[in-house]
Amino acid sequence: MNTINLFSLVGKKAFITGGAQGIGKSAALAFADAGADVAIVDVDMGKAEGTAAELRAKGVRSMAVRCDVTDPADVDSMVGRVVEEFGTIDIAFNNAGICVNESAETMSFESWKRVLDINLTGIFLTARAAGRVMIAKGSGSIINTASMSGHIVNQPQPQCAYNASKAGVILLTKSLAVEWAHFGVRVNSISPGYIGTAMTLKASQWIPSWEAATPQRRMGKPEELVSALIYLAADSSGFTTGTDLVIDGGFTCV
Protein backbone atom coordinates (compact mmCIF):
# COMPACT_ATOMS: atom_id res chain seq x y z
CA MET A 1 0.00 0.00 0.00
CA ASN A 2 1.27 3.46 -0.90
CA THR A 3 1.95 5.18 2.43
CA ILE A 4 0.85 8.51 0.96
CA ASN A 5 -2.64 7.10 0.51
CA LEU A 6 -2.93 5.27 3.83
CA PHE A 7 -5.68 7.58 5.01
CA SER A 8 -7.29 8.42 1.70
CA LEU A 9 -11.07 8.11 1.44
CA VAL A 10 -11.22 9.01 -2.23
CA GLY A 11 -14.11 7.18 -3.87
CA LYS A 12 -15.64 6.14 -0.53
CA LYS A 13 -19.31 6.72 0.23
CA ALA A 14 -20.27 7.50 3.82
CA PHE A 15 -23.15 8.49 6.02
CA ILE A 16 -22.93 10.09 9.45
CA THR A 17 -25.83 10.13 11.91
CA GLY A 18 -25.91 13.20 14.11
CA GLY A 19 -23.80 14.71 11.35
CA ALA A 20 -25.16 18.25 11.37
CA GLN A 21 -23.09 19.54 14.28
CA GLY A 22 -20.52 18.70 16.94
CA ILE A 23 -18.48 15.52 16.54
CA GLY A 24 -20.54 14.43 13.54
CA LYS A 25 -19.92 17.65 11.63
CA SER A 26 -16.18 17.58 12.38
CA ALA A 27 -16.06 14.03 11.07
CA ALA A 28 -18.02 14.99 7.96
CA LEU A 29 -15.63 17.83 7.13
CA ALA A 30 -12.63 15.55 7.67
CA PHE A 31 -14.09 12.73 5.57
CA ALA A 32 -14.75 15.22 2.77
CA ASP A 33 -11.19 16.56 3.00
CA ALA A 34 -10.00 12.95 2.65
CA GLY A 35 -12.10 12.57 -0.51
CA ALA A 36 -15.30 10.84 0.61
CA ASP A 37 -18.84 11.65 -0.47
CA VAL A 38 -20.88 12.10 2.72
CA ALA A 39 -24.57 11.98 3.60
CA ILE A 40 -25.47 14.09 6.63
CA VAL A 41 -28.15 12.26 8.61
CA ASP A 42 -29.91 14.23 11.34
CA VAL A 43 -33.30 15.29 12.70
CA ASP A 44 -32.39 18.98 12.33
CA MET A 45 -32.70 19.46 8.59
CA GLY A 46 -31.75 23.13 8.68
CA LYS A 47 -28.35 22.38 10.17
CA ALA A 48 -27.98 19.21 8.10
CA GLU A 49 -28.53 21.11 4.86
CA GLY A 50 -26.02 23.72 5.98
CA THR A 51 -23.35 21.12 6.70
CA ALA A 52 -24.04 19.33 3.41
CA ALA A 53 -23.56 22.63 1.58
CA GLU A 54 -20.19 23.11 3.30
CA LEU A 55 -19.11 19.68 2.09
CA ARG A 56 -20.19 20.36 -1.49
CA ALA A 57 -18.07 23.52 -1.39
CA LYS A 58 -15.10 21.19 -0.82
CA GLY A 59 -15.84 19.47 -4.14
CA VAL A 60 -17.43 16.24 -2.90
CA ARG A 61 -20.98 15.00 -3.21
CA SER A 62 -23.17 15.44 -0.16
CA MET A 63 -26.81 15.17 0.77
CA ALA A 64 -28.91 15.82 3.89
CA VAL A 65 -31.31 13.13 5.04
CA ARG A 66 -33.75 13.36 7.92
CA CYS A 67 -33.92 10.19 9.98
CA ASP A 68 -35.26 9.08 13.35
CA VAL A 69 -32.66 6.47 14.30
CA THR A 70 -35.11 4.79 16.69
CA ASP A 71 -37.52 3.94 13.86
CA PRO A 72 -36.50 0.80 11.90
CA ALA A 73 -38.49 1.79 8.81
CA ASP A 74 -37.06 5.31 8.83
CA VAL A 75 -33.52 3.94 9.15
CA ASP A 76 -34.01 1.50 6.28
CA SER A 77 -35.47 4.30 4.16
CA MET A 78 -32.50 6.54 4.94
CA VAL A 79 -30.00 3.88 3.91
CA GLY A 80 -32.00 3.25 0.75
CA ARG A 81 -31.84 6.94 -0.15
CA VAL A 82 -28.08 7.05 0.43
CA VAL A 83 -27.54 3.99 -1.76
CA GLU A 84 -29.79 5.46 -4.43
CA GLU A 85 -27.77 8.69 -4.44
CA PHE A 86 -24.24 7.32 -3.98
CA GLY A 87 -24.56 3.78 -5.36
CA THR A 88 -23.27 2.08 -2.22
CA ILE A 89 -22.11 2.65 1.37
CA ASP A 90 -18.49 2.09 2.37
CA ILE A 91 -18.47 3.91 5.72
CA ALA A 92 -21.19 4.27 8.36
CA PHE A 93 -20.43 6.53 11.31
CA ASN A 94 -23.24 5.91 13.79
CA ASN A 95 -22.90 8.93 16.01
CA ALA A 96 -26.36 10.19 17.05
CA GLY A 97 -26.79 10.31 20.82
CA ILE A 98 -28.22 12.17 23.80
CA CYS A 99 -27.56 12.39 27.53
CA VAL A 100 -30.04 12.83 30.38
CA ASN A 101 -28.66 13.81 33.78
CA GLU A 102 -31.24 12.51 36.22
CA SER A 103 -30.80 10.56 39.44
CA ALA A 104 -31.68 6.90 39.05
CA GLU A 105 -34.21 6.91 41.87
CA THR A 106 -36.25 9.71 40.30
CA MET A 107 -35.61 9.08 36.62
CA SER A 108 -38.78 8.50 34.63
CA PHE A 109 -39.14 5.40 32.51
CA GLU A 110 -39.62 7.69 29.51
CA SER A 111 -36.20 9.30 30.08
CA TRP A 112 -34.50 5.92 30.50
CA LYS A 113 -36.15 4.54 27.38
CA ARG A 114 -35.38 7.60 25.24
CA VAL A 115 -31.66 7.45 26.05
CA LEU A 116 -31.43 3.71 25.38
CA ASP A 117 -33.56 3.98 22.24
CA ILE A 118 -31.36 6.65 20.65
CA ASN A 119 -27.93 5.72 21.98
CA LEU A 120 -28.06 1.94 21.76
CA THR A 121 -31.04 0.76 19.73
CA GLY A 122 -30.40 3.57 17.24
CA ILE A 123 -26.85 2.40 16.71
CA PHE A 124 -28.01 -1.19 16.27
CA LEU A 125 -30.58 -0.16 13.67
CA THR A 126 -28.23 2.04 11.65
CA ALA A 127 -25.40 -0.51 11.89
CA ARG A 128 -27.75 -3.30 10.81
CA ALA A 129 -29.05 -1.36 7.81
CA ALA A 130 -25.55 -0.36 6.71
CA GLY A 131 -24.24 -3.84 7.43
CA ARG A 132 -26.73 -5.42 5.05
CA VAL A 133 -25.41 -3.22 2.22
CA MET A 134 -21.79 -3.94 3.13
CA ILE A 135 -22.31 -7.69 3.53
CA ALA A 136 -23.81 -7.84 0.05
CA LYS A 137 -20.72 -6.21 -1.49
CA GLY A 138 -18.16 -7.89 0.79
CA SER A 139 -16.58 -4.85 2.43
CA GLY A 140 -17.22 -1.82 4.60
CA SER A 141 -16.34 0.00 7.80
CA ILE A 142 -18.84 0.75 10.55
CA ILE A 143 -17.81 3.12 13.33
CA ASN A 144 -19.98 3.61 16.42
CA THR A 145 -19.75 6.42 18.94
CA ALA A 146 -19.45 4.94 22.41
CA SER A 147 -17.94 6.93 25.29
CA MET A 148 -15.47 6.73 28.13
CA SER A 149 -18.74 6.53 30.10
CA GLY A 150 -18.98 2.96 28.87
CA HIS A 151 -15.81 2.23 30.85
CA ILE A 152 -16.20 4.34 34.01
CA VAL A 153 -18.91 6.05 36.06
CA ASN A 154 -18.81 9.81 35.65
CA GLN A 155 -18.83 12.21 38.56
CA PRO A 156 -20.40 14.43 39.77
CA GLN A 157 -23.37 14.25 37.38
CA PRO A 158 -25.88 11.37 37.53
CA GLN A 159 -26.29 9.63 34.15
CA CYS A 160 -26.93 5.93 34.63
CA ALA A 161 -28.91 5.58 31.40
CA TYR A 162 -26.17 7.20 29.33
CA ASN A 163 -23.45 5.08 30.94
CA ALA A 164 -25.42 1.88 30.42
CA SER A 165 -26.18 2.75 26.80
CA LYS A 166 -22.55 3.46 25.97
CA ALA A 167 -21.32 0.28 27.65
CA GLY A 168 -23.86 -1.51 25.48
CA VAL A 169 -22.49 0.17 22.36
CA ILE A 170 -18.99 -1.14 23.11
CA LEU A 171 -20.11 -4.76 23.43
CA LEU A 172 -22.53 -4.43 20.51
CA THR A 173 -19.58 -3.23 18.43
CA LYS A 174 -17.50 -6.24 19.41
CA SER A 175 -20.40 -8.62 18.76
CA LEU A 176 -21.06 -7.25 15.27
CA ALA A 177 -17.33 -7.29 14.52
CA VAL A 178 -17.17 -11.01 15.22
CA GLU A 179 -20.42 -11.82 13.40
CA TRP A 180 -19.51 -9.88 10.26
CA ALA A 181 -15.73 -10.39 10.02
CA HIS A 182 -16.04 -13.19 7.48
CA PHE A 183 -18.13 -10.90 5.27
CA GLY A 184 -15.31 -8.37 5.08
CA VAL A 185 -17.18 -5.85 7.23
CA ARG A 186 -15.25 -4.18 10.05
CA VAL A 187 -16.98 -2.71 13.12
CA ASN A 188 -15.18 -0.46 15.59
CA SER A 189 -16.02 2.27 18.08
CA ILE A 190 -14.54 5.39 19.58
CA SER A 191 -14.94 6.36 23.22
CA PRO A 192 -14.46 10.10 23.60
CA GLY A 193 -13.91 11.79 26.92
CA TYR A 194 -15.29 15.23 27.64
CA ILE A 195 -15.43 17.00 24.29
CA GLY A 196 -16.45 20.64 23.89
CA THR A 197 -19.69 20.16 21.93
CA ALA A 198 -23.04 21.90 22.30
CA MET A 199 -24.27 19.00 24.44
CA THR A 200 -21.44 19.15 26.98
CA LEU A 201 -21.05 22.93 27.04
CA LYS A 202 -24.66 23.24 28.25
CA ALA A 203 -23.49 21.62 31.51
CA SER A 204 -21.15 24.50 32.34
CA GLN A 205 -21.54 23.96 36.11
CA TRP A 206 -19.61 20.69 35.87
CA ILE A 207 -16.87 21.70 33.44
CA PRO A 208 -14.35 22.82 36.12
CA SER A 209 -14.56 19.46 37.90
CA TRP A 210 -14.32 17.57 34.59
CA GLU A 211 -11.19 19.46 33.59
CA ALA A 212 -9.65 19.02 37.04
CA ALA A 213 -10.15 15.23 36.78
CA THR A 214 -8.64 15.03 33.30
CA PRO A 215 -4.83 14.65 33.31
CA GLN A 216 -4.53 17.09 30.40
CA ARG A 217 -6.60 19.55 32.45
CA ARG A 218 -8.92 20.50 29.61
CA MET A 219 -11.79 19.29 27.48
CA GLY A 220 -11.09 17.86 24.06
CA LYS A 221 -12.08 19.39 20.74
CA PRO A 222 -14.23 17.57 18.18
CA GLU A 223 -11.39 18.00 15.69
CA GLU A 224 -9.15 15.89 17.93
CA LEU A 225 -11.25 12.81 17.21
CA VAL A 226 -11.11 12.91 13.43
CA SER A 227 -7.71 11.30 12.88
CA ALA A 228 -8.94 8.19 14.72
CA LEU A 229 -12.15 8.22 12.68
CA ILE A 230 -10.29 8.52 9.38
CA TYR A 231 -7.99 5.67 10.41
CA LEU A 232 -10.98 3.43 11.19
CA ALA A 233 -12.76 4.45 7.98
CA ALA A 234 -9.75 3.98 5.69
CA ASP A 235 -8.37 0.78 4.20
CA SER A 236 -5.24 1.21 6.34
CA SER A 237 -7.19 -0.22 9.30
CA GLY A 238 -8.04 -3.38 7.38
CA PHE A 239 -6.95 -5.67 10.25
CA THR A 240 -8.67 -3.57 12.92
CA THR A 241 -12.10 -4.75 14.00
CA GLY A 242 -13.88 -5.02 17.33
CA THR A 243 -11.67 -2.25 18.72
CA ASP A 244 -12.78 0.60 20.97
CA LEU A 245 -10.46 3.61 20.82
CA VAL A 246 -10.54 5.64 24.04
CA ILE A 247 -9.77 9.32 23.35
CA ASP A 248 -10.17 11.06 26.68
CA GLY A 249 -7.08 13.11 27.61
CA GLY A 250 -6.13 10.37 30.08
CA PHE A 251 -9.35 10.55 32.11
CA THR A 252 -9.84 6.79 32.41
CA CYS A 253 -6.22 6.24 33.43
CA VAL A 254 -6.70 7.65 36.92
225-246 residue pLDDT tens:
999 999 999 999 999 999 999 9
- Per-residue pLDDT of 6-37, as tens digits, reads 899 999 999 999 999 999 999 999 999 999 99
- Per-residue pLDDT of 137-153, as tens digits, reads 999 999 999 999 999 99
d(C-alpha 66, C-alpha 64), whole Å = 7
Average pLDDT in the chain? 96
**147 an active-site residue?**
yes
The pLDDT assigned to 136 comes to 98
CA atoms within 13 A on the CB side of 17: 29
The pLDDT assigned to 4 comes to 58
**166 an active-site residue?**
yes
* Identified catalytic residue from 26, 147, 189, 237: 147
* Identified catalytic residue from 13, 25, 26, 162: 162
List CB contacts of 53: < 8 A, sequence separation 6 or more.
Answer: 62
Alpha-carbon separation of residue 190 from 62, 80, 96, 148, 169 (angstroms): 24, 26, 13, 9, 10
Answer whether CATH 3.30.70.600 is correct for domain 3-253: no
**Pairing between strand 185-192 and 244-247?**
parallel
- Per-residue pLDDT of 33-82, as tens digits, reads 999 999 999 999 999 999 999 999 999 999 999 999 999 999 999 999 99
Contact 7, 34 (CB under 8 A): yes
Domain ranges of the chain: 3-253
